[in-house]
A and B are shown apart, each in its own frame.
Chain A
Amino acid sequence: MTTMQNMLKNPDANLVLALADDLLMLGHVQGDWTGLGPILEEDIASSSMAQDDLSHALVLYEHLGAHFGIDADVIAYERDIADYRCCDLVTLPDEFDWAVAFVRRWVISHWAAPVLDRLTKSDDQDLAERCLRLRAEQSLHLTYLDDWMHRLGSGPDEGRTRIQTALDTIAEHAGMVMEVPDRDLADIEAFCCGREELFNEWTTAMNVVLEHAGFTMTFPLPALDAFGGRRGTHAPHFHEQHAEMTEVRCADPGATW
């Protein structure tokens, strides 16, 4: 068995990969907005957060890489497509609609926070310490994004309508953020026994903000058997993003970049 297969067969590693892949692809799609944002200052702030997300993915890949003996970039770029554990929401096309991009990021950031909280309690000391730092930095994003949600909520109708429409679009995909990355993981406490608790914590935190801002978003917790991106059955848009992300690196396998 290769080192990569070792990692992919490891339930704990899959939990970390689910978060790391979400952050990688979120940083990837949000980073694409750099230079194209609606306000120069917002563009800069948004790009800083995209860089954090990419950095956080790297920090997690480095943790796994050290454990399984794989280079972080190989984990990030050179897995088979079915071995990416991200949910489909992170790469949901925004079609250059800032509202969709904003809400997509806001939902994933709210998801990352309680997941990181759980990982900080991991028995793996190295992982716990890394996640503690990541959690503090993801908190900065939450503060910023929640503030924006309030601002947009107290702004003119035009913006309110666009954000609510985006929330409705995102809600269709948001439940699958809770997809278990591996059916065999059913006995992993963080994901399954605590699955409802995690779902409640995540959605409650979002609803507090939405309520203040005058928006709504509801979606149910999908069944444990529901499968999609996290178990490797990715939506077509992930395939497109993945092809784009790996285009240069895979054009010349083995080269140093």
Chain B
Amino acid sequence: MSKIRQRDFTFAEELPPHADGVMHAYIVYTCRKDGTPHRYAGYLDAPDIDLAVEYACEHYGQDEACTGIWVHLVEHLHETPCAQEHIDPATGSDDGDSDSEPIWIVFTQKRRGDIHIETGALHAADAATALSKAVARHGESTVQVRVVLRDHIEATEPGQLIWRTHDQTYRLARGYSKSVRAKWDAVRKVEDVDEYTKEDIEHHF
């Protein structure tokens, strides 16, 4: 193993103090294919949004094919309380859009525990109005609606390379599934392998 990892370590009694400075929490969304909605991918911590986008590309952008990434500060999120059953769209109000007002991106959550997915965009003067409009327009069959000012979202450039073009199957289950199955079949009865693979993860990158 590498020498560093083998080393014997000695330490001062106390840990050195906390780092100074501030990290912020960002929410990351990925788009699998141009023209499809951005989907919640996860969080990360970064000192500013530019580095947050770079980090997001190298982490969430490498899980599966990815053509675009959005990132925004957690604090820039405005959301309805998460409903027990479903949101009632009638609790929102929609008095139309004015192009002079800023653009808000709407994300909705279909069921508790689900991820939030980009559902549309609208114009509104402020967050409360944006949320109310979003509820009226997109609240049907959802448990939660979120809005984020578009200017608060940092996005990768259209056409920017994120997902790599060289062979990525080494890091995906599908890069192994067939050969693994064939190797099992060579040493076990088919019905035993079938039984054994029932516990496999169904959904994977």
Task: Judge A-B direct contact (beta carbons within 8 Å).
Answer: yes
Chain A interface (Cβ < 8 Å from any Cβ of B):
32, 36, 40-42, 44-45, 48-49, 51-52, 55-56, 58-59, 93, 95-96, 133-134, 136-137, 139-140, 143-144, 147, 151, 244
Residue of B nearest to A147 (CB): B54
Q: How far is the CA of A96 from the CA of B9 in the complex (A)?
A: 13
Do B4 and A49 touch (CB < 8 A)?
A: no
In the assembled complex, which residues on chain B have CB atoms less than 8 Å from the CB atom of A40?
45
- The residue among B50, B57, B164 with the most chain A CB atoms within 10 A of its own CB is B164
**Which of B4, B51, B59, B164 contacts A44, CB < 8 Å?**
B59
Assuming A41-B59, A48-B59, A52-B166, what are 6 further A-B pairs, CB within 8 angstroms?
A42-B55, A45-B54, A93-B3, A136-B161, A139-B161, A147-B50
**Which of B44, B54, B164 contacts A55, CB < 8 Å?**
B164
In the assembled complex, which residues on chain A have CB atoms less than 8 Å from the CB atom of B51?
147, 151
Q: How far is the CA of A80 from the CA of B34 in the complex (A)?
A: 47
B58 at the interface (CB under 8 A from A): yes
B10 at the interface (CB under 8 A from A): no
**Which of A49, A51, A93, A137 contacts B165, CB < 8 Å?**
A137
B46 at the interface (CB under 8 A from A): yes
Do B161 and A41 touch (CB < 8 A)?
A: no
Do A48 and B166 touch (CB < 8 A)?
A: no
Do A41 and B46 touch (CB < 8 A)?
A: yes
In the assembled complex, which residues on chain B have CB atoms less than 8 Å from the CB atom of A51?
171
Binary interface encoding of chain B residues 146-182 relative to chain A, with 1 for a CB under 8 A from any of its CBs, else 0: 0000000000000001001111000100000000000
Do B54 and A136 touch (CB < 8 A)?
A: no
In the assembled complex, which residues on chain A have CB atoms less than 8 Å from the CB atom of B55?
41-42, 44-45
Residue of A nearest to B168 (CB): A55
In the assembled complex, which residues on chain A have CB atoms less than 8 Å from the CB atom of B166?
52, 55-56, 58-59, 133-134, 137
A-B contact pairs, 19 of them (CB 8 A): A32-B2, A36-B4, A41-B46, A41-B59, A42-B55, A45-B58, A49-B58, A51-B171, A58-B166, A59-B166, A96-B4, A133-B166, A137-B164, A137-B166, A144-B54, A144-B58, A147-B50, A147-B54, A244-B2
In the assembled complex, which residues on chain A have CB atoms less than 8 Å from the CB atom of B5?
32, 36
B197 at the interface (CB under 8 A from A): no
In the assembled complex, which residues on chain A have CB atoms less than 8 Å from the CB atom of B2?
32, 244
Shortest Cβ gap from B63 to chain A (Å): 11
Do B46 and A48 touch (CB < 8 A)?
A: no
Q: How far is the CA of A137 from the CA of B163 in the complex (A)?
A: 9
Residue of A nearest to B62 (CB): A48
In the assembled complex, which residues on chain B have CB atoms less than 8 Å from the CB atom of A41?
44-46, 55, 59
Binary interface encoding of chain B residues 1-14 relative to chain A, with 1 for a CB under 8 A from any of its CBs, else 0: 11111000000000
In the assembled complex, which residues on chain A have CB atoms less than 8 Å from the CB atom of B54?
45, 143-144, 147
Shortest Cβ gap from B59 to chain A (Å): 5
Q: How far is the CA of A55 from the CA of B59 in the complex (A)?
A: 17
Do B161 and A140 touch (CB < 8 A)?
A: yes
Q: How far is the CA of A137 from the CA of B168 in the complex (A)?
A: 13
Do B59 and A45 touch (CB < 8 A)?
A: yes
Residue of A nearest to B55 (CB): A41
Shortest Cβ gap from A139 to chain B (Å): 8
Do B161 and A44 touch (CB < 8 A)?
A: no
Residue of A nearest to B167 (CB): A55
Residue of B nearest to A44 (CB): B59
In the assembled complex, which residues on chain A have CB atoms less than 8 Å from the CB atom of B1?
244
